[in-house]
Amino acid sequence: MKYVIFIPDGSSDLPLDELDGKTPLQVAETPNIDKLAQNGFGGFTNNVPDGYTPGSDVANMSIFGYNPADYYTGRGPLEAGSMGIDTKPTDVIFRCNTITEKDDTMENFNADHITSEEAAVLMDALNQHFNEKYDDFKGKFYAGISYRHLFVYSCESEEDANLLSDLNTVPPHDIAGENLTEYTTWEDDMAVNMRDIMYETQEVLKDHEVNKKRIADGKCPANMVWLWGQGTTPKLPDFKETYGLTGAVITGVDLLKGIGVFANLDVIDVPGATGFFDTDYGAKGQYGIEALKNHDVLLIHIEAPDEAGHAQLIDEKVKAIERIDEFIVGPIIESLQGEDFKAAILPDHPTPISIGTHTRDDVPLVIYSSDKTGDGCTSFDEEGVKTGSIEKQEGYKLMSRLINEF
Ligand SMILES: [Zn+2]
């Protein structure tokens, strides 16, 4: 038996006047997905537990079969996993943005999308500065992509690491133009130390050659770092040990690669998978077919509908859904003909065009099983699954339900 889970990120939506009261999923022409729906089971699920922000990290952790309430430790650790950084249980991994600070406010949370090359030079300079100035500096900066980096801080004990993980840090994109001191009014020693580190980076960065050149070119300088999204390394049970099945994940998004790494799934890199509208859908489909030849389970995630939702572009969203159907779902299902297989398709969370960001609402779900007759669900969208028979349960239970029940 093969299992494939298609995750069109953020594809579910709200009815739009521009689409005569329909949603992008309803309007998109998706003959392959329709076939799964019409011969499968429909229903709703919810991947975001109460109290969690509806991010792709939390929602996809549910889809991968892990209850975020038990296993989610933060965004930083998942990115560390995807970057192959080895961390200990006493380490706290922060997301580290190179930002533009002006008069102690968040002038630009990404320093004008600084290039990875420039940022790597700055991260090196920070490591050098802190290691030269302090005998036993406990932190290390890791350069990532563009403005998205990591800072790993080694605590004395796991207890300290847990305390530091709980520190109330704020995503920099949420505080554009706001005062920075207000968001770092911490009192605990370790927290004060983090604040000192953030502010001390200004000494190194403000007159750095890289920034002098950026200013001369009319770009925002990366004159400070902002630490947030921290946590300890998540301890996800091994996917293979849990289900007795081998698994692979295909995605263009680091956070999801990280979940795959910690779950001990094979993370398959697809050339041309960008995590944006321009992703190479055909390549993803072909790599998916190959992955299913030597794995039992494939999770295949496509970010494009979510990006279209954020950009509030109706046509792009409809097109992304149609391309997923044509170049990913169609060819993969075709390649499985003659074999026993099950397929599920669901978004992690809705990204409604009218809102331009994620919501925590239920998402439509279709499950197809090659050896079962379906329940008369008509299509994979917010309306079509309403006639389906799948009972709504917490999202993280879907994986075991798919494997064991359908
Ligand atoms: Zn999103």
- Residue where a domain stops, chosen among 231, 248, 266: 231
- Band of residue 145 on the pLDDT scale cut at 50, 70, 90: confident
| Extended strands (E) in 146-223 | 148-154
Q: Which residues surround ligand 1, an ion (CB under 5 A)?
A: 306
CATH number at residue 14: 3.40.720.10
Please tell me whether residues 124 and 208 are part of one structural domain.
yes
Please tell me whether residues 225 and 284 are part of one structural domain.
no
Encoded tokens for 171: 């995503």
Please tell me whether residues 10 and 100 are part of one structural domain.
no
State the distance from the centre of ligand 1 to the C-alpha of 379, rounded, in angstroms: 24
pLDDT at 278 over 90: no
State the distance from the centre of ligand 1 to the C-alpha of 10, rounded, in angstroms: 7
State the distance from the centre of ligand 1 to the C-alpha of 95, rounded, in angstroms: 17
State the distance from the centre of ligand 1 to the C-alpha of 305, rounded, in angstroms: 9
Total number of domains in the chain:
2
State the distance from the centre of ligand 1 to the C-alpha of 304, rounded, in angstroms: 9
State the distance from the centre of ligand 1 to the C-alpha of 57, rounded, in angstroms: 10
Encoded tokens for 370: 């090659």
pLDDT in the model for residue 73: 95
State the distance from the centre of ligand 1 to the C-alpha of 188, rounded, in angstroms: 33
- Band of residue 388 on the pLDDT scale cut at 50, 70, 90: very high
- Residue where a domain stops, chosen among 231, 254, 289: 231
Please tell me whether residues 101 and 39 are part of one structural domain.
no
State the distance from the centre of ligand 1 to the C-alpha of 160, rounded, in angstroms: 32
Please tell me whether residues 148 and 219 are part of one structural domain.
yes
State the distance from the centre of ligand 1 to the C-alpha of 404, rounded, in angstroms: 30
Question: Burial of 293 by CB count in 10 Å (0-12 exposed, 13-18 middle, 19+ buried)?
Answer: exposed
Average per-residue pLDDT for the chain = 95
Please tell me whether residues 211 and 269 are part of one structural domain.
no
Find the range with the poorest average confidence among 32-41, 264-273, 324-333: 264-273
Please tell me whether residues 186 and 271 are part of one structural domain.
no
397 torsion bin: left (phi>0), alpha (psi -120 to 50), beta (else): alpha
For 293, the domain range is 2-72+235-404
Please tell me whether residues 245 and 359 are part of one structural domain.
yes
- Residue where a domain stops, chosen among 180, 201, 231: 231
pLDDT in tens, 91-139: 999 999 999 999 999 999 999 999 999 999 999 999 999 999 999 999 9
